[in-house]
Structure 1
Amino acid sequence: MVVVFVLVGLVAVALVAGLHWYVWRRLVRDTTRGPGVARRVGTGVMIAGPVLMVAAVATERAGAPFWVQRVVGWPGFLWMALAIYLLLGVLAAEAVRPVLRRLVERRQSVLLDETPAPLAAVGSEQRRSTPPAHPLPADAPTAESAESVPAPVSASVPSRRLFVSRVVGGAAAAAAVGTVGYGTYGVLRGPRVKRVTVPLAKLPRSAHGFRIAVVSDIHLGPVLGRGFAQKVVDTINATQPDLIAVVGDLVDGSVKDLGPAAAPLAQLKARHGSFFVTGNHEYFSGAAQWVEEVRELGIHPLENARVEVNGFDLAGVNDIQGESEGQGPDFGKALGDRDTARACVLLAHQPVQIHDAVRHGVDLQLSGHTHGGQLWPGNFIAELANPTVAGLERYGDTQLYVSRGAGAWGPPVRVGAPSDITVVELASKQA
């Protein structure tokens, strides 16, 4: 097992190194002349970036001192996102490069065709009819020999290949930096509120219009801290929900390191309280300790449990990752003995748990986990592992709503998958 892990690690490192070499070749080597300052600086960046990226992931997974995680986290995870879009930009530029080269060649041909005929021919005719006033030395260059010597090319004028490389490389780099910059701004400004109405056939008239604020994947950690948690809390409270559902992946770290960052969650306000279920990242961070911590913050954990709320059942199951610790989801415990004539809303972190929810007669499952793909084209990868990546879909008699999440894992960047807090308004068909 250890040998397999080492081999997989070596393959991953080799792949990362190879992709960075390719990006370096296109953006640094092909756009610079020789080993000058520009090439040395570019090479240094292309070495430091992946080193910090690996360090950011390794220190978080290994539980290194929290200050070390914070020091390498920001530059390392930002480089992870930047490297993705630099690679995509360079790959896209490969299609543009030959087209631009042909355009440059055509332009140069046009300029050469428009150049006036050299005056040397005229001068030679004049020299034939008019003898020189003074005889030239025998070794002096003649007009014919002077014409055969090519004009010196200025060292400051780039070659056609270098010009094309600089144009496409500069465009790719600018697009990557702009994309990552805007994606980072989208995360740091905080999630936006979405509103979705979900009709439930068995919901009583008394619960018509009941509003649940769904927040998932906050991912407090070395990058997103207490200030971000406060933004999330303020955004949720501003919606004045009837109930708050925190559906997993609250943190990436221990209670010791992130307890102060999570403290603003104690300010969450809803008429029927706040509820929490674990996500897979809680089991990387000490799930049992975090369950106790959120309880002390006034949030009610639903560990394979169910409560009655305003005429319907609210249930919650542990995340699948808990199976590694003997604390996995138990749908029978949470839903087995309930009155199936009542409407049921289930909190379950991962969308793939929908199949068990359908078998147990759940009316609505609220999930997160996918981040909506977080970094395009990651949504296509997320679609391979999840029945629904974002939004509301129906599976038999059960509806599934998947939030894109409030925060971000790894790079504090979102592209094509804006963060959200969703207010789900339940509608009774009897109203």
Structure 2
Amino acid sequence: MLAVLGFVAVLALTTGLIHLYLWKRLVRDTTGPGRWRRIGGIAALVLALLVPATLIGTQAGLYWLAWPGYLWLAVMFYLLVVLVVLEVPMLVTRLVLRRRLAAAEPTTAAPEPVLVATAEPTTAAPTTAAPEPVLVGAAGPPEPPATGAVTAADHDPGRRLLLARGAAIFAGLTATGITGYGVRTALGPPRLDRVQIPLAKLPRGMDGLRIATVSDIHLGPLRGRAHTERIVAAINRLDADLVAVVGDLVDGSVAELGPAAAPLRDLRSRYGNFFVTGNHEYYSGVEEWVQEVDRLGLRVLQNQRQEIRARGGVLDLAGVNDLDATGTTGLAAGPDFAAALGDRDQSRPVVLLAHQPLAAVEAAQYGVDLQLSGHTHGGQVVPFNLVVRLAQPVVSGLGEVDGTKVYVTNGAGFWGPPVRVGAEPQISLVELRSA
């Protein structure tokens, strides 16, 4: 819980700064002082508070906050992305307009005043005083500009306002359009990804062994029992030899989500169904979930390995607890690669189940042939996948870390916003081939 609160605090600070920027671009730059600017400021403040309120509220069971809060989080993200991208062309446009307006200003110097005498009268008028001379061209009240005259003072603010409003409308339409597409993708059925991976040590008799792999189901306030049932049905249609659920099954306690996870008991495979913890299990009561998943018929590999005897050959299937549990003890102990992989027959191939791809850095030291992982969601929303690459060696699909092959599945659910852009939900069928 403390980890969640710390994350919420950082997110609240970040979203506060983002909303300040959005207020500047979408409210202050597009309105004048007055009622509409005040309304926009209040809206920006409410939306800024909605994000941390949603994260805290859903933890406390206020699930009605989930849809508006998480949807706004997605729209906010894409508003930020689009507006930041527009900063450069907006700056260039403002500079071009400024130069054009400066060039349109008159450059002719004002004429010097000239002393002109008035004409003398034709008839003498001794009692009439001589007329005063008149200064022509002297400074006086300015004449109104001719029709069509252009001045920076008159027209630059209007053009700035038009430019700001155009950018705001474009950003709003783009952000809501992308979010709508992302919601449809995230709530749609998981895509099936089939991949063949050769292993040098795999016995020829085990050639073609198939492992149905799924991660990041993320049962929670927005996804329930129907989500699990659809995933189980999709996996069972694959007729796999093994099923591997590689972490982040839930975002809530057993009391809240036990019924939603119950369809996992219907998973079918020839040689067993297996599970390893992800970081979100440690936010949701990991001890209870380990027991619940075991009760549903999945073997939980907690820093353990299991011999898989099939088709006359033997393969080691190992599993480690999530990296985020490093330093903990007991049933929720952190990863122990030595316990899971040490003192084994090195002639056998070993497949490691580890939630985070980063685990491959240490797994490679134990000669792991293949690691199956999730955690990244494939980035979930472009361009966030570029940030994920800074933390994980493989974001999606097949990669390699220090000689260990790493396959990362996109996950079948989502975390936070019910949005996926550029990373469809996924169930993977990994087929092992003898090299």
TM-score range, shorter chain: 0.7 to 0.9
TM score, norm. by length of structure 1? 0.80
Q: Call closer, same or farther: CA 1:95–1:386 in 2, change over 3 Å.
A: same
Residue 28 of structure 1 and its aligned partner are, at CA, apart by 2.1
In the alignment, structure 1 residue 85 sits paired with structure 2 residue 84: no
The 5-angstrom pairing of residues 109-128 of structure 1 reads none
Q: Is the counterpart of residue 414 in structure 1 residue 420 in structure 2?
A: yes
Find the aligned partners of 1:418 and 1:362 in 2 and give their Cα distance: 28
Match of 1:174 in 2: 173
Q: Name the amino acid aligned to 2:71.
A: L
Q: Does 1:349 align with 2:355?
A: yes
2:47 matched to which residue of 1? 49
Residue 286 of structure 1: how far off its partner (Å): 0.9
What does residue 247 of structure 1 align with? 246
Cα 1:150–1:324 change in 2 (3 A) is farther
- Percent identity of equivalent pairs: 49
1:8–1:277 distance in 2 versus 1, CA, 3 Å = closer
The 3 A distance-change label for structure 1 pair 73 and 426 is same
Structure 1 residues 422, 272: closer, same or farther in 2, change over 3 A?
same
For 1:9-408, what aligned pairs fall within 5 Å after superposition?
13-36=12-35, 39=37, 42-60=40-58, 63-64=59-60, 66=61, 68=62, 70-100=63-93, 148=144, 159-309=158-308, 310=310, 311=313, 312-326=315-329, 327-408=333-414
Q: Does the CA-based 8 Å contact 2:198-2:433 persist in structure 1? A: yes
Q: Give me the whole-angstrom Cα distance separating, in 1, the residues matched to 2:366 and 2:6.
A: 42
RMSD across aligned C-alpha pairs, in angstroms? 3.2
Q: State the 1:370 CA deviation.
A: 1.6
Deviations 1:226-249 (A, max 9, x none): 222222222222222221100011
Give the TM-score taking structure 2 as reference length. Answer: 0.80
Query: CA distance change for structure 1 residues 161 and 307 in 2, over 3 Å: closer, same or farther?
Result: same
Residues 8, 55 of structure 2: 8 Å contact kept: no
When residues 166 and 263 of structure 1 are mapped into structure 2, their CA distance, relative to the original with a 3 A threshold, is same
Shift of 1:289: 0.7
Distance across 1 between alignment mates of 2:323 and 2:5: 26
CA distance in 2, matches of 1:360, 1:269: 31
Secondary structure (helix, strand or coil) at the match of 1:198 reads strand
| Matches of 2:6 and 2:301, distance apart in 1 | 40
Distance in 1, matches of 2:262 and 2:422, equals: 30
What is the number of equivalent residue pairs in this alignment? 384
User: How many angstroms does 1:195 deviate by?
Assistant: 0.9
Read off the aligned partner of 1:316 and give its amino acid letter: G
Cα distance change of structure 1 residues 8 and 318 upon mapping to structure 2, 3 Å threshold: closer
Instruction: Give the superposition deviation at 1:151.
Output: 7.4
Q: Distance in 2 between matches of 1:57 and 1:189?
A: 24
- Cα distance in structure 1, aligned partners of 2:266 and 2:50: 36
SS at 2:420 equivalent? coil
- The CA distance in 2 between the partners of 1:231 and 1:6, in whole Å, is 32
Alignment-mate amino acid for residue 49 of structure 2: V
- Distance in structure 2 (CA, Å) of the matches to 1:370 and 1:54: 22
Counterpart CA distance in 2 for 1:237 and 1:45 is: 48
- SS of 1:425's equivalent in the other structure is strand
- How far apart, CA to CA, are the structure 2 residues paired with 1:15 and 1:303? 35
CA distance in 1, matches of 2:409, 2:403: 20
- Cα pair 1:190 1:228 within 8 Å, conserved: no
Higher mean Cα deviation, 159-168 or 253-262?
Answer: 159-168
CA-to-aligned-CA distance 1:381-429 (integer Å, 9 cap, x gap): 2222212222212234421111121111111222232221111110012
Give the Cα–Cα distance (whole angstroms) in 1 for the partners of residues 6 and 410 of structure 2.
34
> Aligned partners of 1:30 and 1:400: how far apart in 2?
48
Q: Is the 8 A contact 2:393 2:401 kept in 1?
A: no
Q: Greater helix percent: which structure?
A: 1
Q: CA deviation at 1:187?
A: 0.8
Paired residue type of 2:358: V
Q: 1:209 to 1:172 in 2, by over 3 A?
A: same
* Superposed displacement of residue 219, structure 1: 1.1
Structure 1 residue ranges without an equivalent (≥5): 110-144, 153-157
Q: CA deviation at 1:104?
A: 7.5
Matched residue of 2:368: which SS? coil
Question: Which of these two proteins has the greater Rg computed from alpha carbons?
Answer: 2
* Cα separation, partners in 2 of 1:49 and 1:240, compared to 1, 3 Å: farther
* Deviations 1:49-95 (CA, angstroms, capped at 9, x unpaired): 221211122234xx41x2x1x11122212222221111111112222
Deviates more, 1:17-26 or 1:340-349: 17-26
Structure 2 distance, partners of 1:7, 1:340, is 42
CA distance in 2, matches of 1:48, 1:240: 50
Task: Write out per-residue CA displacement over residues 291-349 of structure 1, whole angstroms, 9 at most, x where no aligned residue.
Answer: 11112222111112222222311111111223343111222222223221111111111
